[in-house]
Amino acid sequence: MIRSDRRSWPLAIWLALLSGYVDAIGFQQLGGYFVSFMSGNGTMLAVRLAAPHGPLAGAVAILAMLLALFVVGVLVGTLIRLALPRTGQVAVLVLVALLLGGVAVLGDWAAPAMVLAMGVTNATFERDGEVSIGVTYMTGTLVKIGQHLAQTVAGRERWGWLPYLMLWSGFLVGAGLGALAFPLWGLASLAAAVAGALVAAGAAWRLCPAA
């Protein structure tokens, strides 16, 4: 993130908030499964597979489907970025809005598409085919906070940890808002996420490099 254009920081923090919001809604809708935190789903899959008893088949199938959908989302988002070098960010975020809007309209049976949307979101910030800013997985962000705090303690930099803290805080705030919204409005609360993704697409358009 430090190596990225500083103009992208507000957009990254906004998308982290959006991801936290959707993750909290998905977690409640899917009964304890994540839609953006795939490390958690991977751990649960391993636990289910290792459990000596219990209703394994259903949980394993759900977790495998969620993991696959996330990877497909990243794949689709990355292909869009490769096909549209200048406006790929905008196209990715519009697709995220469409996917989340579809879930809000279609309801329960379309809920797993939230995972697809979160996978696509990860293609927003790419450099040389690699993710430059992760906006849905925060463990790496916490590692960066610790690393840059070490640099601060060593006297090599002062504020390198701050953008990572803001990114993590954005995710946390978004998750809290999603936790509050879902009991009130259910999947209709994704309408706010659709609006947020469209706002992000507008911001990305302003950041597009000149033709």
Mind listing the pLDDT tens digit for each residue in 128-177?
A: 667 778 888 888 899 999 999 999 999 888 889 999 999 999 999 999 99
Q: Look at residue 105 and tell me if it is in a domain.
A: yes
Alpha-carbon dihedral sign for residues 171, 172, 178, 179: positive
Domain total in the chain: 1
CA distance 127 to 73: 18
The residue range of the domain holding 168 is 8-203
Q: Look at residue 3 and tell me if it is in a domain.
A: no
pLDDT tens track for 50-76? 875 665 667 888 999 999 999 999 999
Confidence band of 7 (pLDDT split at 50, 70, 90)? confident
Q: Look at residue 1 and tell me if it is in a domain.
A: no
Q: Look at residue 209 and tell me if it is in a domain.
A: no
Q: What is the pLDDT of residue 8?
A: 86
CA distance 99 to 166: 26
Q: Look at residue 19 and tell me if it is in a domain.
A: yes
Confidence band of 80 (pLDDT split at 50, 70, 90)? very high
C-alpha angle with apex 198: 4 to 71, nearest 5 degrees?
65
pTM over 0.75: yes
Q: Look at residue 178 and tell me if it is in a domain.
A: yes
